[in-house]
Amino acid sequence: MSLEAVCGKNPVNRVGKLYNVAAREIARLIVVEVAGIEAAQCCLVSRIGRAITNPAVVDVAISTSDAGSPDVYRDAVQDITCSVLSRLPLPLERFMRGDVQLY
């Protein structure tokens, strides 16, 4: 999720749209790609003047299948998060084709 509103017509630089899509993708990839993680939630918050690829807040919560420390997964979660954020803004064509789910 993002705490930013998804309204606005311009998906190229509208953080409400972009962060909702990015947060959903981050959570999905974490669950799919990291063994032992059963669920993930991601929250992104922007700040005026900061680059889209550098949110003011990135909060990722995970649920694991083992009783071990979540710190074991820190590097993998951080790598996925940074990878998704580095690809922003998303290609406009993905929005126009309807490939992107906003909420």
Evaluate whether residue 85 is within a structural domain: yes
Task: Assign residue 39 the CATH number of its domain.
Answer: 3.30.300.280
- Residue 26 in contact with residue 14, Cβ under 8 Å? no
Query: Which of 9, 43, 17, 14 shows the shortest CA–CA distance to 103?
Result: 17
- From first to last of the 103 residues of the chain, give the pLDDT tens digit: 555 555 655 555 677 778 888 999 999 999 999 999 999 999 999 888 888 889 999 999 999 988 767 788 999 999 999 999 998 877 667 767 777 776 6
Evaluate whether residue 10 is within a structural domain: no
Evaluate whether residue 68 is within a structural domain: yes
Evaluate whether residue 102 is within a structural domain: no
Its pTM stands at 0.82
40 membership: H or E segment, kind and range: strand 37-45
Q: How many domains does the chain have?
A: 1
Distance CA 71, CA 82 (A): 17
Evaluate whether residue 92 is within a structural domain: yes
Evaluate whether residue 7 is within a structural domain: no
Q: Count the neighbouring beta carbons within 10 Å of the beta carbon of residue 13.
A: 11
